[in-house]
Amino acid sequence: MKKNSLILALFLVAVGGFLLHARIHYFIIPDPANPNSNIFDPTRFLSSFFSALDVIAVTVLFLSSRTAVYGYLLNGMLVILGTILMAHYSLASLSQTSLPLAQFIMKSTLPDIAVAWGDFFIGKALYDYYMSGGK
């Protein structure tokens, strides 16, 4: 029962992250040259792709104890990459404003980074579960 709950939690947090990325960084955008048509933005696509990779590949890899180590590794790499990119985006865009610290934190991607690290630690708990023999 513990394994199923952890896999479900890992999946739901990853789906939440994917939906946030799809809403914020939707990769089909209006064409500035032709307002009646849309274009594909590959930069925005990557954030949704990495989130989809978390939902699909990480969840599938954690379904088996034999592949859990790869799920743990991929999950960790995605969280580290996401942390770096989101922190860079926040610092680059918000450093040009003079917001009070509380507003700076709430308008930054720090809450999103916290969710990503929550996803990582759910994966770590699942990995530890497998490594302890399912006890």
Q: What is the pLDDT of residues 27-70, one digit of tens each?
A: 888 888 888 899 998 888 888 899 999 999 999 999 999 999 99
Does the pTM of the predicted model rise above 0.85? yes
DSSP 57: I
Q: In terms of residues, how long is the chain?
A: 135
Instruction: Check: CB of residue 54 under 8 Å from CB of residue 10.
Output: no
Predicted pLDDT of residue 109: 87
* Domain residue limits, the chain: 2-131
Predicted pLDDT of residue 1: 63
Average per-residue pLDDT in the chain? Answer: 90
